[in-house]
Amino acid sequence: MAKTQLNVRVDTSTAETARRQADARGMSVNRYIEELVRRDAGEAGRTFVDSAAAFMEDYASAFAEEPGDRR
């Protein structure tokens, strides 16, 4: 995916919090901010729902069986 630079200004406290949170997660501040924006935009949720729907479609017959039908 192509990257573009985005410059933002935040207060010192916010910057330090971002650094601490990123460090606690073992990631760069850049990646931490990217993930926050994606989550806020719902991208992660949509990906999960799409994956879950595909899983259910693939295994629908297994879930349709009554317990004890397989022997």
Q: Considering its fold, how many domains does the chain have in total?
A: 1
Tell whether 32 is covered by a domain: yes
The pLDDT of residue 17? 95
Does residue 36 come out as left (phi exceeding 0), alpha (psi in the -120 to 50 range) or beta? alpha
C-alpha 26: how far from chain center: 16
DSSP-derived secondary structure letter, 21: H
Q: What percent of the chain has pLDDT over 90?
A: 35
Instruction: Divide the 71 residues of the chain into consecutive groups of 10 and give the mean pLDDT of each group.
Output: 87 94 94 88 75 82 69 54
Tell whether 55 is covered by a domain: yes
Tell whether 42 is covered by a domain: yes
The pLDDT of residue 21? 95
**Domain housing 45:** 12-64
pTM more than 0.85: no
